[in-house]
Structure 1
């Protein structure tokens, strides 16, 4: 019998930044994700099930321990959910699509980030290539996640005139799962 090994998704990698995302912003997103996962009694290595573009389980991992002061800074679980989901969604976008980095969108566009195309040498300027809309759920189930995916698809309608593909990411933290799909 062949035992398949689960693929790792290390959220600490975002702490190094991306070509268009500073390490400080990456650390902020990572800390929110770790805080929310650990507040739900999950440790590094927890299984994170993803559906949509792929249907697979990842081992959601981190090496750097969470500073005990984080609980004072992340008392607003809604905010922690938003930023933690953003960190995981960005990692999924880079892992599951052909895009390499992100650029924050403006409020009112119907999506959160532009996904940017790789260039020969990964230097600016990057080209807007797709849209990424992100949502987080602190506690829900598959049905809750799929309802949120549908709502987020509709939300991106207002920017369909860009003619850029839209990707939707919804991350749930209680029973770590997510949905990452193309609209």
Structure 2
């Protein structure tokens, strides 16, 4: 799992800008209508690596899960609390995903609007060099004034594919569904 630099940001999840609704991140037993099943809740593990207060974020709580579905593996890692600048938070989350020496960026991040509308997500493809094997990882990140979340997927069927051929619009649509499932109004 890639390291995450704490902060939160970007657009996403509705009116999450300063003064907008506040959200928390949950770890459901399944995602995308049962396409992915929870293997492990990693919230506590992530919490040991993330400060409660940091640059751009305050009173932070981690939430995350490792999921599988068929030949796919997905990691959702989110932070919720108070985020001063959602765009900076998204940038920090992307940097955390892509700055490892064992990672190369195959498709630089850019914004995707989900098919049918909704708040944009920042998505890209990185390639992780693990034990001599190059593993393409599609990722999407979003943030609000109270959340920053990354979703990273590995598909065993994509291991021999050109990473540039991964359909990021399709993954952004999937990540938008995940956003609706994991990001819930605070107090909800």
TM-score interval, normalised by the smaller of the two chains: 0.3 to 0.5
TM-score by length of 2: 0.34
Q: Name whichever structure is richer in strand by fraction.
A: 2
Structure holding more helix per residue: 1
The structure number with the bigger radius of gyration is: 1
Higher RCO, 1 vs 2 (CA within 8 Å, ≥6 residues apart)? 2
